[in-house]
Structure 1
């Protein structure tokens, strides 16, 4: 095995790989933090016999990324980070050539691993104004956490434009609906990660925002013209490529305007990868497929190795979540000219050289996670609606504070209660019918909504009874509403009679405390909603 911290040995190693070993470098199967010992040993064996180039880490085989969301129980692992570090060491030890370790850490390792730092979702950051410096710091902090765990490649940022409120998989992962805002925020985040020696990947080319289909489960169709795509969806990709994107991830999307009217996934389309991305946009870096296990493509190609070959032949250099490594290697070797293999190998090995032949040296301290999140909370908090007269926040007003949705330690109410007296109640303790009877005579309502889910399916998991009662409160009381979640929740309500509506976006304690300061009149909201909500 090559010592990954010996730059000379690593640089010289590329001249020793056989053609078969070079093809092995294109494969990046999944690794799971919560695997059993038998499953770990099976992956170690695959690493040894197939000479794969890297691994992409996921939480468990029951996660959304493995198409089993809601079908299998996801087990909480308080020791997930330590488990991840140990597994990376084991898998690196099994490899002849250093593995490139990747993960989806769009808002930090917390996207995949419990008890790790979490930063705001992209949709939250999209609400901030000119905060490039803060977003660079977010990128630096995420990169540090990745590097300390043994990860080299963060498959982020998302540069999809959030222009479909019913998007089941992108939504909150996008910086918003404005192409320039998306490009600026993503550029700053990527700049921070790259400054700390972590590779980035912009995704999901050519744009996954305007669809209501989850590509984990079905193939979304983007029906826009080529001119429309270049004007909007492709804009952030073009800008980040100009700014030195390390790699581009191609999504599983059908985009007929870019394929002469043909249907089929962009992830296996020569017209889109080799034609648009390589030739028209001039991108010569690494192209990585979106996870090849996703049902939008995997169900269409049951023959082992066929999908891997099609993805490579279309122009992908790295095959993420490849499920049939041995068969894929054989199929690529059988069907591919050597010059094509060599060109992809050159790009992949260059990416590895970028990581392994240099050691990142931090030259300045990192911003504390809590302090950084606090600064972001102040910048992002958004006053969506403010109908006069405002509710009085003095102790003379008889307030009734209601919390609905996800069970939550309510730092928001606790902070306000230090200065304003009110009665509090939440639906995780009392049924709605009991709450309604107790609140019949109440006039002034402070309503805190904590959506059970960040994704829009099943009304964010609010029950029909909850939504009906929320609407009844808005229509009949003086309601000040604070939303600690996805702003698209507001599309489910008629807000015309609400006195005040504020979007705090996150339910972090820090964001709740900042929201409380806003309610108490200690600062004015500066955020701007990054997506359109019907009023």
Structure 2
């Protein structure tokens, strides 16, 4: 069954569909599980995994592999480790924190570690690294997901990330072609525009993708962008034949080309699931990733294949590339039972912490850190979303345990009232130091960058008469507007980044033998 030459039209086109797979729904919703089993029966090429713990994902991938006529290729967005999508695994610093390390070999080590954990749960395709250059500080979706602001820095780290993953036989993906770094909108919500000429793109945005291809990247993800220099008839790049022709002909790329998720609003506003799937495959994509309604998508795809030879021809070539990728991932000729490698999760904690600590950027105008034992302090966290409360609570819990001083903590957001702010100010009046932790970063469907104005307003009202420490746990581009005794940039809100700040504030780095 691993030779597309002998497949039916249905088997050929179905192999090019990779639906979303929710672990929680798979185990709790019988109707959803039946739908997934039906997609496997119809011959989809694989799935993109979301949610669940490592045991659940391992059990799910194993059970589905044992049912599939052709081994399934499971994928996931694990740019900074399994916790980007799962509830467990080692959370590594974000890409921008890796870019802050002077040695790009850091990205090799982190990628190798991530790949070992990814592989341990049955996933063989990590949809990373991000090749976008974050050249626009107001970008609402890339930000700390990028290695940095220059082609050279991003390219160096992209290459090392790819090389690290290759040591574990986990496939990689350069995204989001032709570059999502210089945009002002989030493609999860609307279609961002990149107005540069092709010559400009080739001199800047495309350089990390070129480096990725030269390093042997397995796949390229095409973003949902409006790029007149590369788009046909106002189409998103993911539906534009011109983009796919450029990748194949101008960049000489022979691997897989996959769309960004087709359930994003920039696509669902203009296409239903069936049409979006068919149109991207006709345009030149090998894989239609995560249409909003997978059953509708595969039904329309199979029906269209009966009378559209161009679609079948495209998918036949794509199926051959998909089978090659599965061979490269050691899924063919036969899916192998997973090895018990859970020890790797423990082994990677120290690596993550060391990298996060080395990524810290600290500006000290007044030497108030480490915080002395006899100094009372207060901690205020500015939250972008409700779910940031868990991360902020974790941070302050670690800090209070490391520094056994009298301290008060509070959590604020843009919705705070003047009366609540006054109550907080009264509650921290005895604190000598104010620690202000800013949890603002690029978030899908909520990538606002204007929140910093409100955060600054709150900080100014609470900080009068106090020494201050401002910590940027995410977006690093607003430090200059804060007047503070100490500023700390982490370039990530991952657990090791939180712990690194605690180590710095408490002066415990020698005890932990980090350096």
TM-score, normalised with respect to structure 1: 0.81
Q: Is the 8 A contact 1:160 1:203 kept in 2?
A: yes
- Which deviations, in whole Å up to 9, do the C-alpha atoms of 1:73-118 show, x marking residues without a partner? xxxx6xx332222322332233221111111111111111112221
Q: Is the 8 A contact 1:450 1:507 kept in 2?
A: no
- Which deviations, in whole Å up to 9, do the C-alpha atoms of 1:323-364 show, x marking residues without a partner? 31121133245223465443222212111221224779999x
Residues 348 and 439 (structure 1 numbering): CA distance in 2 closer, same or farther, change over 3 Å?
closer
- Which deviations, in whole Å up to 9, do the C-alpha atoms of 1:253-307 show, x marking residues without a partner? 11002247x4211011111111x211111111111111122221222123x6322
- Which deviations, in whole Å up to 9, do the C-alpha atoms of 1:349-405 show, x marking residues without a partner? 111221224779999x9682210112112210112x333x43375748744332323
Match of 2:426 in 1: 437
Match of 2:317 in 1: 343
Match of 1:107 in 2: 80
**Structure 1 unaligned blocks of 5 or more:** 3-9, 60-76, 525-535
- Which deviations, in whole Å up to 9, do the C-alpha atoms of 1:157-180 show, x marking residues without a partner? 111111223322222211121211
Match of 1:269 in 2: 240
Tell me the distance in 1 between the aligned counterparts of 2:23 and 2:339.
28
Match of 2:274 in 1: 305
Match of 2:481 in 1: 494
Tell me the distance in 2 between the aligned counterparts of 1:129 and 1:411.
31
Look up the SS of the partner of 1:166 in the other structure. Answer: coil
Q: Is the 8 A contact 1:381 1:502 kept in 2?
A: yes
Look up the SS of the partner of 2:307 in the other structure. Answer: helix
Tell me the distance in 1 between the aligned counterparts of 2:499 and 2:278.
52
**Structure 2 unaligned blocks of 5 or more:** 383-388, 413-418, 511-515
Match of 1:179 in 2: 151
Match of 1:193 in 2: 165
Look up the SS of the partner of 1:401 in the other structure. Answer: strand
Structure 2 residue 193 is matched with structure 1 residue 221: yes
> How big is the shift at 1:446?
4.0
- Which deviations, in whole Å up to 9, do the C-alpha atoms of 1:218-261 show, x marking residues without a partner? 1111111222211111110011101101010111111002247x
Match of 1:65 in 2: none
Greater CA drift, 165-174 or 354-363: 354-363
- Which deviations, in whole Å up to 9, do the C-alpha atoms of 1:10-56 show, x marking residues without a partner? 5xx445323432222111112111211111112212321x2221111
Match of 2:469 in 1: 480
Tell me the distance in 2 between the aligned counterparts of 1:425 and 1:440.
10
Tell me the distance in 1 between the aligned counterparts of 2:315 and 2:170.
26
Structure 2 residue 396 is matched with structure 1 residue 427: no
Match of 2:415 in 1: none
Structure 2 residue 318 is matched with structure 1 residue 328: no
Q: Is the 8 A contact 1:475 1:498 kept in 2?
A: no
Residues 148 and 460 (structure 1 numbering): CA distance in 2 closer, same or farther, change over 3 Å?
farther
What RMSD, in angstroms, separates the aligned Cα atoms of the two structures?
3.1
Tell me the distance in 1 between the aligned counterparts of 2:499 and 2:313.
59
After TM superposition, the structure 1 = structure 2 runs for residues 317-396 of structure 1, keeping only pairs within 5 Å, are 317-322=286-291, 323=294, 324-337=297-310, 339-355=313-329, 356-357=331-332, 368-383=347-362, 385-387=363-365, 389-391=366-368, 395=372
Tell me the distance in 1 between the aligned counterparts of 2:371 and 2:433.
14
> How big is the shift at 1:202?
0.8
Structure 2 residue 435 is matched with structure 1 residue 447: yes
Greater CA drift, 21-30 or 162-171: 162-171
Match of 1:52 in 2: 44
